Chain A
Amino acid sequence: MASEQTEVVLRLAQATRRYGHHAALDQVDLAVAEGEVYALVGRNGAGKSTLAKAAIGALALDAGSVRVLGADPSRDRNVRREIGIAPQEIALYPHLTVAENLDAFAALAGLSRAERPTAVARVMDETVCADRAGERLDHLSGGWQRRANLAAAIVHQPRMLVLDEPTEGLDPETRLILRHLIARLRADRTAILLISHNAEDVVALADRLGVMEAGRLIVEGRPAELMAEAFRGRTELVVRLSAASSSVEGILASRGLAPSDGGLCWSGTVADAVTLAREIEMALLLVDVELLELTVRPPGLDALIDWATASAAQ
Chain B
Amino acid sequence: MILVMLRVMALSLWRDRIGLVLVFVLPPLVFIVFASVFGSGASGSLDIRAGLVDQVNSADSRRLVDSVQQRLSGRLIRTPDAAALENAIESGRADAGLLVLGDLADAPTPVTVLIHPGRRAAGEILTAQVNAAVGQDLPELMLRREVARLKPILALTPDQVRHVTGAPSGLAPPPPFVAQRILPGGDPLRIYYAGAVSILFLMFTAMQGAMSLIDERRAGLWLRLGLSTGGVAPLLGGRMVWLTALGATQALVLFLVAAVAYNVPLLANLPAWSVTAVSAAAASAGISLALAAACQTREQAQPVSTFIFLILAAIGGSMAPRFLMPEALQTLGWLTPHAWVIEAYQTVLWRGLVNETVAQAWIVLASFAAWGFAAALWIEGRRRL
Q: Chain A, 48-84, contact with B by CB distance < 8 Å: what is the 0/1 string? A: 0000010010111000000000000010011011011
Give min CB distance, B347 to chain A, whole Å: 40
CB neighbours of A136 from chain B (8 A): 15
Q: Are A60 and B385 in contact (CB under 8 A)?
A: yes
Complex CA gap A59/B384 in Å reads 6
Please state if A80 and B224 are interface contacts (CB–CB under 8 Å).
Answer: no
- Establish whether residues A83 and B227, one from each chain, have CB atoms under 8 Å apart when the complex forms: yes
A87 at the A/B interface (Cβ < 8 Å)? yes
Q: Is the CB of A95 within 8 A of B15?
A: yes
| A93 adjacent to B227 (CB under 8 Å) | no
> Please, how many angstroms separate the alpha-carbon atoms of A128 and B220 in the complex?
23
A110 within 8 A of B: yes
Q: How many residues of B contact A (CB 8 A)?
A: 23
| Residue of B whose beta carbon sits closest to that of A52 | B223
Count of chain A residues with a beta carbon within 8 Å of a chain B beta carbon = 33
CB contact under 8 A between A80 and B16, given known A89-B220, A104-B7: no
- On whether the beta carbons of A85 and B224 are closer than 8 Å, the reply is yes
Report whether A153 and B224 are in contact in the complex, using a CB–CB cutoff of 8 Å. Answer: yes
| Chain A residues within an 8 Å CB radius of B221 | 91-93
* Complex Cα spacing A80 to B384, Å: 14
Residue of A nearest to B382 (CB): A60
Q: Which of B1, B11, B12, B220 contacts A88 (CB 8 A)?
A: B220
Residue of A nearest to B1 (CB): A108
Complex Cα distance, B11 from A91, in Å, reads: 17
B170 to chain A, nearest CB (A): 74
Partner of B220, one of A91, A94, A110: A91
Which residues from B are CB-within-8-Å of A87?
Answer: 219-220, 223-224
State whether the Cβ of B225 lies closer than 8 Å to any Cβ in chain A: yes
**Distance of A236 Cα from B171 Cα, bound (Å):** 115
Interface centre among B16, B224, B225 (most CB of A within 10 A): B224
| Minimum CB distance partner of A73 in chain B | B227
- Do A80 and B223 touch across chains, with their CB atoms under 8 A apart? no
Residues of A within 8 Å of B384, CB to CB, are 58
**Considering the complex of A and B, which 6 residue pairs feature the smallest CB-CB distances, nearest first?**
A87-B220, A60-B385, A108-B228, A91-B220, A110-B229, A95-B12
Given contact pairs A59-B385, A107-B1, A108-B227, enumerate 6 new A-B contacts (beta carbons under 8 Å): A56-B223, A77-B231, A85-B223, A87-B220, A91-B221, A153-B224
Give the B-binding residues of A (Cβ under 8 A): 53, 56, 58-60, 74, 77-78, 80-81, 83-85, 87-96, 100, 104-105, 107-110, 136, 152-153
Instruction: List 22 A–B pairs whose Cβ atoms lie within 8 Å, in order of A's numbering.
Output: A58-B385, A60-B385, A74-B385, A77-B231, A80-B227, A80-B231, A81-B229, A84-B227, A87-B224, A91-B220, A91-B221, A92-B221, A94-B12, A95-B12, A96-B11, A96-B15, A104-B4, A104-B7, A107-B4, A108-B229, A109-B228, A110-B228
